[in-house]
Each structure stands twice: as C-alpha cells, then as structure tokens.
Structure 1
Amino acid sequence: MLVARAGVLANAVRVEADSDDRELLAHLGDVAEDAQLVLRGPDSRDVVLPESLLALVLAAAHDLAKGNAVLALPMETRLTPSETARVLGLSRPFVARLLDEGEIPSQHLPGSRHRLVRLTDVLEFQARRERRAEGRRRIMELAEEVDLPY
C-alpha cells in the first residue's frame, strides 16, 4: 500500500536574508579563520558546536550575502520526480525521460510504478550537466579565438 507523503521541498527550511543581513553576512568571511560557532543556552551556558556545523553556517552565509535563498535538506533526502524537476528547473516529463534512460538513478517503490530519487544523485547530475555546458562554452571560445567556423 502506498502511503501519501508530504512534499519534501515544501517542508524544507528555506532561509532568505534582507539587505541589512546580507551586508552583515558579507563580512563573516573576514572573521571566519579560527572562528568558533557557539550556542548559548537559556541558562547562559555556552556550547561550542562542531567545525562541520561552522562550515555549513559559513557556506550558507556566503550564499545569503549574495542574495540567494538557502534551502536546508539532508543529502539522503529522497525526492519524487516532480520534486526533482523543481530542483533542477526542468519539466517533469523531461526528468521522467532522464530517469527512464538512467541519466539520474532512481528506485521504484516496492509494488509500484512510483519512484524516488536521491538528492545526492540529483546534485551529481546537475554538476555533470554544468561541467558539460562549461566544456561546450570553452570549445566555442577557442573556436572563436582561432576563427574556426562552427
């Protein structure tokens, strides 16, 4: 039996910074070396958080400072094909074709035609796609430099 689930993207934490915050966040990179992330509890007790969390906060701050929104999702998140299309900015039918062709790995739910896609696989596909686009761009630039017709 297939149990309906809430959309993963709808429940993800989305953070946006206003212009004042962006200005403040832009300067975090200046103080990041040898920095610590400290959480102060209600009893005024400080807890130093792990460096991995500091790295995450600084990466998010970097994007927020540039005016980008940040979406917090675990890498192990499983997405529906529709959610995958939204993440990639592609149409649902095109993503379905990519899944059918194995360009993006997916897993069928037991006893169902429905499938899920790991966020990690979606991000790897996007990185490959961006590398190919960059390669095509560089080839075009080189062709223009030596005045080759294309």
Structure 2
Amino acid sequence: MARSSVLSSALRVEPKKAERESAAKVARAVRGRSRSFTLLLPDGTPVPLPGALVEVLRASADEMADGHAVTVLPSEVSLTPAEAAELLGLSRPFVARLLDEGEIPSERLPRSRHRRVLLSDVLAFQAKRERRKEGRRRIAAAVEEADLPY
C-alpha cells in the first residue's frame, strides 16, 4: 500500500549503523540530566535549547539508537480516516466504525460526508489502546502466576 500524502510528506529519518551509535550517545547524555542544554552553531554561537526540544531530541535519539525510523509531524495535522487507519495499522472500515462510535474524535467537512481526524487524537487512541493491552497482559500474567484456570 502506498503511503498517504500526509505521511509521505512528513520528515522520516532512518538511522544508519553509525548514526545508531551516535544516537545512543546522545540519548545517554540527555537521559536523566537537567533539561538545560546548549547547541553550538557552526559559527560558534551558543543557543540554549528549550526543555521541550530537549525532550524531542531524547525521544528521537532513543528510537534511532534502537534502529527505529523517526517521523516528524505536527500533532495538529489533520488526517483522513484512511491515513489514520494506515498509521494505526488497522483497516479503514474498522477506523470508520471507531469514528462513528466516537472512540476517535472526528469532524465532518462542511457540506460533505468526508471526515478529518487530528493526529493528536489518533495518537491518544493508540496510547489508550496500548495501556489496555498492557493491562490485559498483566491480568493474564497474574492469573497464570496464581495457577488459576481461564
């Protein structure tokens, strides 16, 4: 399946082997330290980095160190249901049902039957789904540990 226009136009960085090692060094340097870092520009000018940017750097460096590609998109970007489905790894009809049921907020376009979904809402749904999945794993582990039938 071809990548959608919003996702294909996003900045996507796939780390090479040498970059993975550098990313790991950056992740270690940033992790657990104060959020005060300064970027030294090529002309020697120091620029203090805001804490939010340091957090983005840490998260990106962690993922790249693990060999994962990193995609940069603003969370306010608006997606079609098909793009949301692609991002979630779900079918478009299933995502349409989630939209109909209000599981993922959406907005209908004026004088149209088409809908748009905010990336931030898709990511919030994905995080909620992961938390539920982790809860089910914990329950199953507790049942198994207690040697209860299920």
Question: TM class, shorter-chain normalised?
Answer: 0.7 to 0.9
Match in the other structure for 1:20: 18
Which aligned pairs between 1:41-52 and structure 2 lie closer than 5 A?
44-52=44-52
Of all paired residues, the percent bearing the same amino acid is 54
Q: Say if 1:37 and 1:61 are closer, same or farther in 2 by CA, change over 3 A.
A: farther
Secondary structure of the equivalent of 1:27?
helix
Query: Could you say what the CA RMSD is over the residues aligned between the two structures, in angstroms?
Result: 1.8
| Aligned residue identity for 2:16 | D
Structure 2 length as normaliser, TM-score? 0.87
Which aligned pairs between 1:132-147 and structure 2 lie closer than 5 A?
132-147=132-147
Which aligned pairs between 1:32-43 and structure 2 lie closer than 5 A?
32=30, 33-34=33-34, 36-38=37-39, 40=41
Shift of 1:84: 0.2
| Aligned residue identity for 2:79 | L
Q: Which 4+ residue blocks in structure 1 deviate beyond 4 angstroms?
A: none
Q: Say if 1:113 and 1:141 are closer, same or farther in 2 by CA, change over 3 A.
A: same
- Alignment partners' CA distance in 1, 2:117 and 2:23: 33
Unpaired runs of 5+ residues, structure 1, are 1-5
Shift of 1:49: 3.3
> When the two structures are aligned, how many residues end up with a matched partner?
144
- Alignment partners' CA distance in 2, 1:117 and 1:39: 39
Match in the other structure for 2:96: 96
Shift of 1:114: 0.6
Structure 1 length as normaliser, TM-score? 0.87
Shift of 1:39: 5.2
Unpaired runs of 5+ residues, structure 2, are none
